[in-house]
Amino acid sequence: MIDDLIQLMRDAGIAVPDGVAQTIEVRLRQTYGGERVYVASLPKQRRAVQLAKLAKHTQVEMALATGLTVRGVRKILRGR
């Protein structure tokens, strides 16, 4: 999971040198070593981010692109 996090940062355009990546890994292992860390999936937030990327489109186009109903798109855009 630590390697995935560092790789995702690099994919997002954040330069993470190998030395810094190793330091981050060591610190995370010291802090959370041996614990079960829960990471929430946040499906509503994920959909909101997906719709935000399509914000220049109409609600119907957004619904077709995401597989949601138009009503579902409207609810998410209103923050419900």
**Which residues touch 57 (CB under 8 Å, ≥6 apart)?**
65
Give the up-direction half-sphere exposure of residue 53: CA atoms within 13 A in the CB hemisphere.
Answer: 7
- State the Cα–Cα distance between residues 2 and 25, nearest whole angstrom: 6
Please report, in tens digits, the pLDDT of each residue of the chain (80 residues total). Answer: 889 999 999 999 999 999 999 999 999 999 999 999 898 999 888 888 888 888 888 889 888 888 889 998 888 888 76
Strand, coil or helix: 1: coil
- pLDDT for residue 21: 93
User: Does pTM surpass 0.75?
Assistant: no
Which two three-digit tokens encode residue 33? 């070593």
